[in-house]
Amino acid sequence: MRKHLLYFILFFSFSAVAQKPITLKKKFYGSYEGEIPAYTLDVGTDNVNVDAVAIKIKLAGDSVHITVGQNALHGVYHVLFEGKNYFVLDCRMDGQLAGERIVVYNRGKRISRDGLFPQPSSFLDRVKD
């Protein structure tokens, strides 16, 4: 009995580790455009108003290109979670310590980008390449 229990525990632990990685479906690859809304930044004694700026995100394979205004960033992503209606991507951009978090929705050809504090989140719609 102990022998069977040991085999079961070993088999179960190997099967839990050997799960396939989650991949983003090819139908979600492409370009998305939107706008980061205006917000106020508190810098000690003053408040600085930051204007709205255009944002473009291009998903392809395992790479991501993010253009915010005139700044262009390149990096890689991996899927953190696949829900019933969405995928959560963690993007590691070259030259940045903090990662970007992108949610790709199954319906509506829309994604959202979680802004780094104090930047608000933004919604982007799919555009033709």
pLDDT of res. 51: 92
The residue written with tokens 């319906």 in the block is 107
Q: Is 124 a residue whose pLDDT tops 90? A: yes
123 versus 62: the higher-pLDDT residue is 123
Domains and CATH numbers, the chain: 22-127 (2.40.128)
Cα 18 to Cα 10, 35, 67, 81, 83, distances in angstroms: 12, 40, 36, 17, 20
Q: In 57-81, which positions are buried (b, 16+ CB within 10 angstroms) versus exposed (e)?
A: bbbeeeebebbbeeeebebebeeee
Q: How far apart are CA 65 and CA 95, in angstroms?
A: 13
Its pTM stands at 0.79
1 versus 65: the higher-pLDDT residue is 65
Q: What would the 3-class secondary structure string for 50-96 be?
A: ECCEEEEEEEECCEEEEEECCEEEEEEEEEEEECCCEEEEEEEECCC
DSSP H or E stretch at residue 70: none
Average pLDDT over residues 45-68: 92
pLDDT of res. 95: 86
101 versus 116: the higher-pLDDT residue is 101
Helix, strand, coil percent values for the chain (each to nearest 5): 15, 55, 35
pLDDT tens, residue by residue, 1-54: 666 665 566 566 555 555 667 888 889 999 999 999 999 988 888 999 989 999
Kindly report the average pLDDT of the chain as a whole number: 85
